[in-house]
Every structure is written in structure tokens, then in C-alpha cells.
Amino acid sequence: MEQTLELPSSAPGKGFVRFGALCGVALCILFVMNLALGVVTLAPERLLTAIAAPAADPAAAAILFNIRLPRALLACCAGALAALAALILERIAGDGEVHDPGWSGVMALGALGAVMALTIAGSASWSAPGAVIGSAVGVALFLATQRRLQRAWRRRVVGLSIAVIAPALVFALLIGDVRIATWVRWCLGSLEQRDWQTWSGVWVLLLVAAPVGAVSAAKPGLPWMRNAGATLTVATVVVAAGAIGWVGLAAARWTGAVTGSGAQRATAAGLLGAALLLGVDLAARGATTLLPSLGLVSEVPAGALLIVLGAASFLAAHIRKR
């Protein structure tokens, strides 16, 4: 009996080590690429000079430390926490299915709460508490639909409806000021103009969301802790990068086929989520250079690429089932 219990655990362990190492290497490569590539490309020697001797190349040092480093770090945090949020929503639902934090409506309500607080208070410092309140409402609605609606398609319809209606309400709040770029960053998700000032609203949330989210994603835990973990992780993602959801869904699903225990899966999903968002942000910046002027926004939103990727993966899964 003991042998039959040991054999299954060894395979997932090996899979976790290999997959985790691969994700770690990809994360490092993409992180360096995010620091080096952009409107102004920093060649390897110039990048090293900016790191080792900033005074020797102040322009490169300013680009690296003031623009690209905070953006890359925010992408890592947002991608990792989006993956944890997807795992926690799976535990809350209890149906063994990974749920997209974006299309379930939780992130959309988090963005709505952040923008409402920003609009009413008139200060960006209130966006973080607003995102927490909005995310908490989203988690409560998600839990209510899981308990009261028996059919999965009905639950999906409710989530999709919230994911569409909430951005429309955000648009209504911002249209008076014609702040379309602000709407894009919150509702589609974008790392454009995310700098150290953004960290002032992220770091407090991150200190709480990271440990609570990791424990909630790795272990069954108590219901209140799962709800708190989902609320805090989603709110942190929204404040850091806007309502980006597919990254969490993809990372949670892909790691589920490779890793074994909850802790292994949470770790691997976090690494993969961070790498995925770094890659998507890099692709968005690359697409911006190939396109004509975008008008009200200066970059292709990362969330727009995620919508395309999410739709493509949904169609591919549907075709495979048929």
C-alpha cells in the first residue's frame, strides 16, 4: 500500500522541478528583454553600464531605473497574483475547474471600484481601497452564482455579463473627462505609464496579498481565507496592471497538467503567470512600433492581446472537443 502511494507523488515532483526550472529561465530571459527593449534599445554593454555605473550613462540609467524596471516588476507581480487568483477561484467554486478572474467578472468589478474611488475622491491614492472593495463585491457575486446557479453555462453568462457591464460603467464615469487612456489601462489592462508612483498603491496590498494568496491557492483553508485571498490578489493585479485575466487562467490550467500538490502548483503557476505577462507586455510594445499612431493611447494595451489569445484558446479548445 505504501508503494502505491509513493509512485504517483514522484512523477509530479519531477515534473514540477523541470517545469519550474523552465519557467524560471523563461522569466529571467523575458525580464532582461523587458529592461533592454523599447523605443530606445539598450544594447547589452549599455545595459550593464547603466546597472554597474549609472553616472557613466545617465540617460540609460534613467530609462532603466525610472521607466522599465518598475514596469517589469509590476508585470511580474500582476502575472503571478493573477495565476494565484485563478487557483483560489477554483477552490472557491469547488468544481475542479479553473476560473478566469477576468471573465468571471471579479476583476471588472475591481476596476470599477478603483475608478469610482478615484473619481469620487479625486486622488489616485484611493484607487487601491476602491479596488479592494470592488474585488470583494466580485468575489461575493462569484460565490453566490456558484451556489445558486446549478448549470455551468448560466454561471458563465453571469460572469461575462458583469465583465461587460462593469467596463461600460467605468467608461460612463470617465467619458466626461475624455480620459479614454485611463479607461483602457483599468478595464483592458495595460502597463503603460506604470512606474514607481504606481508602487505607492501596490506595495501595501502586495505585502498582504502575496502570502495570503499563496496559502489560499496552495491549501484548502477556511472559506473566509479563500475569499480574502481572492479579493486581495485580484485587487493587487487591478492596481498594478488593470483587469488582465487570461494570464491567470492560462498559467493555472497549464500547470495543473504538470505539477502535483497544491504548493507545487501555486509556485509553478506564479512563475508562469509572471513570465506570460512579461511576454505579453513585450509583445504589446513590439506591436506598437509596427502600427501607426494609436491616437488616445500611445501603446497597444496588453489586455487587448490577452483578449485575442483568450478567444483563440477558447476556439481551439472547442474545436478539440468536437
Q: What is the mean pLDDT of residues 309-315?
A: 76
Residue 62 included in any domain: no
Ranges assigned E (strand) in the chain: none
CA distance 112 to 172: 11
> Does residue 6 have a pLDDT over 60?
no
| Structural domain includes residue 143 | yes
- What pLDDT digit, counting tens, does each position of 274-311 carry? 999 999 999 988 888 777 656 566 788 888 888 888 77
The confidence band for 178, taking pLDDT boundaries of 50, 70 and 90, is low
The verdict on residue 115 lying in a domain is yes
Residue 156 CB coordination number (10 Å): 16
Element (H or E) spanning 242, and its range?
none
CB atoms within 10 A of CB 169: 16
Question: Can you give the pLDDT at residue 296?
Answer: 62
What's the confidence (pLDDT) of residue 2? 39
| Domain that includes residue 244, residue range | 70-321
Task: With a cut of 90, say whether residue 183 has pLDDT above it.
Answer: no
Residue 130 phi/psi, 5-degree rounding, is -65, -40
Higher-confidence position of 34 and 304: 34
Q: What is the DSSP track for 12-66?
A: HHHHHHHHHHHHHHHHHHHHHHHHH-SSS---HHHHHHHHH-GGG-HHHHHIIII
Residue 17, CA distances (Å) to 13, 22, 214 in order:
6, 9, 18
Query: Look-up: residue for cell 502570502?
Result: 211
Indicate the DSSP class of residue 189: I
The sign one gets for the Cα dihedral 307, 313, 318, 322 is positive
Residue 174 has pLDDT above 90, yes or no: no
pLDDT value of position 292: 62
Please state, as a whole number, how many other Cβ atoms lie within 10 Å of the Cβ of residue 52: 8
141 domain-assigned:
yes
Q: What are the b/e assignments for 101-110, b being 16+ CB within 10 Å?
A: bbbbbbbbbb
pTM of the complete model beyond 0.85: yes
Q: Which residues contact 307 (CB under 8 A, 6 or more apart)?
A: 188, 246
C-alpha closest to that of 228 among 247, 239, 214: 214
Alpha-carbon span 304 to 322, nearest angstrom: 27
> Which CATH number does the domain housing residue 300 bear?
1.10.3470.10
Position 3 pLDDT exceeds 60: no
- Cβ neighbors of 197 (< 8 A, separation 6 or more) are 124
Residues found in the chain: 322
| 212 belongs to a structural domain | yes
pLDDT digits (tens, 9 = 90+) for 54-83: 999 999 999 999 999 999 999 999 999 999
Q: What cell was used for 119?
A: 473619481
Evaluate whether residue 228 is within a structural domain: yes
pLDDT for position 150: 83
pLDDT at 49 (0 to 100): 94
Task: Assess if residue 302 is contained within a domain.
Answer: yes
Q: What is the count of structural domains for the chain? A: 1
Tell me what pLDDT residue 1 has. 38
Confirm whether 92 is domain-assigned.
yes
Q: What is the pLDDT of residue 7?
A: 36
